[in-house]
Every structure is written in structure tokens, then in C-alpha cells.
Amino acid sequence: MKQKMKKMMTLGLAVTVAAAALSGCGESKAPSEGTASGSEQAAEGEKVLKFGCQMYSDGLIDPAAQINCAWNAMRYGITEALFKFDDNMNVVPWLAESYEVSDDHKTWTIKLKDGIKFSDGCEMTASKVKASLDRVRAEGPNGSSTPEKFLEYEAEVVADDAANTITIKTNTAYIDLTGNLAHPVMAIVDVEDIKDWDNGVIGTGPYMVDSFKEQVGYDLLKNTNYREDVPYDKVELLYMGDASAKAMALQNGQVDLVENITNVSDIQKLQNDENFTVDIASGVRTGFAWINQAGVLGNDTLRKAMLMAIDYKTICQSNTIGGLYTPGYSVLPSSLDYGYDTLQNPYEYDPEAAMKLMDDAGIVDTDGDGIRELDGKNINLTVVSYENRLLNDFADAQSQYLAKVGIGTTAKYGSSDDQWTSLVAGEYDLNQNNWTTVATGDPIDYLANWYSKCDSDYCAYENAEYDKLYEQLLEEMDGDKRRELITRMQQVLIDDAAVLVDGYYNSSMIYSKNVAYAHIHTADYYWLSTEIIPAD
């Protein structure tokens, strides 16, 4: 029987307001761009952590405008939010001390912790928190951070510096706004010295940017203004896109710590080596491909046949992927308490049935080149992906299965930024990604990807029943009724063959004996923290 994780319910919506200008304090250090991360020798007695990780976005320029920057800044220990998630996805205070909510759940008064400082030495006041939240609302809609998923545009943020509180007033009732405020996009930053951010946003975390080398990585320094002891004087953060390169770098001592090695053989080798520790978390991520219904996959028959042509279980259990993904067919992981066991999949793997379905609809190969045609043109799906969490491996395997039933594909593999750009522009047929499904402790902002009235419906999906259920979910405050709505929404997406699901991902953190402790968190937002300490 699957172990279920009971989720805290939150409602995620949207944001807009103007940024506030504040008087300066302290000195803000702009990062140098001339030094390659890890290229300088450590000073005698200096505690240095060498960390190899995927380059999800080349820079930390503006978390408000680029969602990958927001994630990176929090993962690298540079920014923090008012609240955070524990490993059971319960919300706990972080920069906040406590909060109170009105009976109608539209007024949230948040008491801030005393004595918090930004890495530039400025005190985190209520006014500065307001300025940070206001700036997200002003700048976010211009980029990809989509703050409207986390706080509605009509919300008013009121700062009281004397009481050290902020009050957020909304027109919409939220079951738990604190989960929305825990998302990396909502991290609190010092907006005063924006001109000096360059690639080093100013946050309240234990580390700050010292130098940056494009395509190489960062040198991070201890934030001497941090409220507790910071275990490392310096972190050499090296971008490593290839999973085997991460494993090799760990084994030869080039790095002390890596995240998410995704080669099964490498993981098994490290697990069997007493010199390394592999920490794996059964996370809340789904690997999936958006299906662009504005293109050829708007054809219902072709879309359903495509899903029936792919053997997801075999792919997940293959030598390439085995153990790192759990197979599944819904957009929410089977480990979450959203009715997975009650769902029905009408498109189980059956290549013969897939070919018959297309034959009966006249989607056939008329010229004998091995590729079926639709509306007189060869079916050649543009598959967009990037090297992260085995997404390219999934795309490769899926293309092989599709070729067997006469569906052609063309791969366009690049960076995560390339993937996102193609997604937003609608320039794809299948677009691979791996998402945290309960980013705010609740899946509502993730499920908005298929709500036709939301800007994040990048796949042009439209279903009146799904839209109605989603709108009911926005208003529903009862936990059991919300679970029922979410279960029904999943079934609608399954029946419509709206999403190509790869499976459910297990995250990992792997470290050498130079490190005493490192943990991969369920929320996958917290990588470099004060939990990670030297072995000596």
C-alpha cells in the first residue's frame, strides 16, 4: 500500500504593485566577472565547500523576472522567504516569526523576526519586505516568474516598521497564504541596490556572491551579517550538466558535494562506496511533457495513439532510468494524497491498438516512407528537452517507441532557458520538463498549467469541465472537498490525453567524507544551507 503524504492546502493566485524606494545602508559588493569559480587557492585555514550542480539558469540577475534565477538564488543559500517547507511539506516560519489571519482569510498579519540583516548589512525592516514583495508584483509579469500564481494582483501590502509587521490584504480568501509566500519567487531581497545586483542578488541567506564566470559558476562567500554561524567561508559552485561528470568529479576530489546524479550505474557505484553518502528523497516532482494542442497534436486520435504507443513502465525500469523515477500516468505523483489509486488510465501501452486507432482515422503512411501523414503532411513532432533529471533520456526513448508506430520526431535539445523560451512561444509539439507539483504545499498553481483562462496554459489545452473544476477549487476551503476536486481534475486530463507523463522523480544529494552532513529536502528549494557542515 502506497504511503500517502497529507498536504497542507493553499490557494495560489497572482501579483502587481510598484516598487518602493528606500534609503541606502551598508556596502553592496557587486560580483566580479573575471574570476572562474574555483580557480583561486583557498587561504590557509579557510573552510571551502566545492559544489557541483546543474546550470538551470546562467546567472542570478533578477529573481523577480526569471523563475530559474529565483530558484537558484534560494538553492544557493543567497535568498530566503518569509516561510519555508519542512520535509512533510508543512509550512514553518523562516524570516517570519508568526502570523495571524482574519476570519474571512483575506487579511494576513505577519510578524517578522528581529535582527535579520541582508548580506549588504542593511536591516530587514517591514518596509524593505514590502518593497521586495511589491517589486515582484511590478516586475514579475514582465518575465517568467509568474507571481500571479502566488499572490493576487489586487493584494495590498502594508508595512509597520514600529511593530515589525507586514499586513497583506487580499480580495480572495486563501486557505493558507503562508505556503504561497514560501515559494522562491517570493523570496525577500534588498531592492535598494538593484544596479549592483548584476549576477549577485542581495538576500538574507548564509551565502553571498563574490565572483561569477559565465557558463562556469560562482564563488560564494560567507554572509558575515547572517544571524547564525555559517559553516563555510567560501563555496566554489561549479556548473556540471553531465551526470557522469558530476560522479567523476566527486570521485576524484574535484568537488565535495553534488546534486542529482542521474545515471543509475553511477548512483549504485557511489552507494556501494563507503567514501560517499547518497541521500535520496521521495520527492513531489513529476517528469512530463507538455503536449501542444495548437499544433498537430490537437488531433485527439493522434494524441491518444501517441500515449498508447509508449511503454512508460519499461522506460522507468530501464538500465538508464531504473530507480530514479516511479512510473505513473497522472500529473500528480502517486505518493500524494490526491486519489491516484482511484484513477483509470484508458491509454495503457498497446502499440497494436495505437496503430489501429490511427488506421481507422485515416492517419496512415501513403508513400511508404515509414511516417504516417495527417492532412497530407508527414507527422514530425518537434520534441524540446534539456539535460536535466534524465529528460533527454525520456525524450530519446519515447521517440524510439513513436517511430515504431509511424510517428516521426525531431529533437531540439538545449538549456533549461531554451526549453522555457520554446514553451512560452509555443514552438514545440512535446516539451519536456520536471516540476515540483506542490510548490506552495498545494497543487493549484501547478494545475493552472491546463486552465484555459490562465497565462500559464502554454499548451493551448481547453476543457470546460476542467475549467469549472479549477474555478471551484479556487473557492473551496474544505480539505476533503478539495482532494475530491483535484482527483476529478486529474481524471479529466488523463481522459483527454492532455499530458505525456514520464514518471515521478526521486531527488538526491551525494557527498564525500569531507562533508559531515547534507540532505536533499522534499521541497527541493534548499540546497546550500547551514545544515551542510565540514567533516572536521
Q: Which residue has the cell 566545492?
A: 50
CA contacts within 13 A on the Cβ side of 481: 10
Q: Quote the pLDDT of residue 153.
A: 59
Determine the pLDDT at residue 140: 66
What per-residue confidence (pLDDT) applies to 7? Answer: 33
Better pLDDT: 3 or 454 = 454
Confidence category of residue 100, pLDDT binned at 50, 70, 90: very high
Asked whether residue 29 carries a pLDDT value surpassing 60, the answer given is no
Instruction: Indicate the SS3 state at residue 138.
Output: helix
Q: What is the pLDDT of residue 18?
A: 30
Instruction: Check whether 434 has a pLDDT greater than 70.
Output: yes
Query: Which pLDDT belongs to residue 216?
Result: 87
Distance CA 527, CA 525 (A): 7
Residue 200, pLDDT score: 77
Name which residue leads in pLDDT, 152 or 286: 286
Q: Under DSSP, is residue 58 helix (H, G, I), strand (E, B) or coil?
A: coil
Which helix (H) or strand (E) segment is 354 a member of?
Answer: helix 351-360
In this predicted structure, the answer to whether residue 92 has a pLDDT above a threshold of 70 is yes
Side-chain half-sphere CA neighbours of 428 within 13 A: 26
E strand or H helix that includes residue 265: helix 264-271
- The Cα–Cα gap between 237 and 184 comes to 19
Percent of all residues in the chain with a pLDDT value above 70, rounded to a whole number: 87
DSSP code per residue over 428-494: -SEEEEEEETTTTSSSHHHHGGG-TTSTT-TT----HHHHHHHHHHHH---HHHHHHHHHHHHHHHH
**What is the average pLDDT across 274-289?**
89
388's CB contacts (< 8 A; 6+ apart) are: 54, 56, 416, 434
The pLDDT score that the predictor gives to residue 485 is: 97
Stretch (H or E) spanning 308:
helix 300-308
Longest CA–CA separation in the chain, Å: 78
> Exposed, middle or buried by CB within 10 Å (0-12, 13-18, 19+), for 245?
middle
Question: Bridge-partner residues for 218, per DSSP?
Answer: 212, 237
Mean pLDDT for the chain?
A: 87
User: Given pLDDT bands bounded at 50, 70 and 90, which one contains residue 536?
Assistant: confident
Highest-confidence segment of 2-11, 127-136, 301-310: 301-310
Q: Using the predicted structure, report yes or no on whether residue 265 has a pLDDT greater than 80.
A: yes
Helix (H, G, I), strand (E, B) or coil at 306: helix
**CA–CA dist 97, 352 (Å, integer):** 60
Calculate mean pLDDT across residues 235-262.
Answer: 90
Residue 409 pLDDT level (bands cut at 50, 70, 90): very high
User: Would the pLDDT of 176 be above 70?
Assistant: yes
Please say whether the dihedral angle defined by the alpha carbons of residues 472, 478, 479 and 480, taken in this order, is positive or negative: negative
Q: What is the pLDDT of residue 220?
A: 95
What pLDDT does residue 151 have?
Answer: 72
- Using 50, 70 and 90 to split pLDDT, how confident is the model at 34? very low
Q: What integer pLDDT is reported at residue 231 of this predicted model?
A: 97
| Distance, CA of 283 to CA of 333 (rounded, Å) | 9
pLDDT higher for 378 or 2? 378
Cα separations (Å) of 392 from 57, 103, 252, 517? 17, 48, 26, 31
- How are beta strands 325-326 and 373-374 bridged, if at all? unpaired
Strands 83-85, 377-378: pairing is unpaired
- Predicted local distance difference test score (pLDDT) of residue 322: 73
* CATH domain 48-237 topology: D-Maltodextrin-Binding Protein; domain 2 (3.40.190)
d(CA 90, CA 284): 13
Q: Given this model, what pLDDT does residue 144 score?
A: 63
List the chain domain ranges: 48-237, 284-506
Q: Which residue has the higher pLDDT, 88 or 467?
A: 467
**Domain 284-506 coded CATH 3.10.105.10:** yes
| Chain position carrying cell 558575515 | 224
pLDDT digits (tens, 9 = 90+) for 489-499: 999 999 999 99
Please report which confidence band the pLDDT of residue 195 belongs to, taking 50, 70 and 90 as the band edges: low
Identity (one letter) of the amino acid at 39? Answer: S
Model confidence at 4: pLDDT above 50:
no
User: Are 308 and 347 spatial neighbours (Cβ–Cβ below 8 Å)?
Assistant: yes
Band the pLDDT of 25: cuts 50, 70, 90: low
What is the per-residue pLDDT across 110-155, written as a single tens digit (0 to 9) for each? 999 999 999 999 999 999 999 999 988 887 666 666 666 677 756 7
Of 240, 249, 242, 238, the closest CA to residue 211 belongs to 238
The string of DSSP letters for 145-209 reads --GGGTS-TT-EEEEETTTTEEEEE-SS--S-HHHHTTSGGG-B---TTGGGTTT----SSSEEE
Which range is least confidently modeled, 2-16, 170-184, 513-527? 2-16
pTM equals: 0.72
Cβ contact 259:241 at 8 Å:
no
| Burial (CB count <10 Å: 0-12, 13-18, 19+), residue 431 | buried
What does the pLDDT average to over 318-341?
A: 87
Q: In this predicted structure, what is the pLDDT of residue 142?
A: 65
Give the per-residue pLDDT at 9: 32
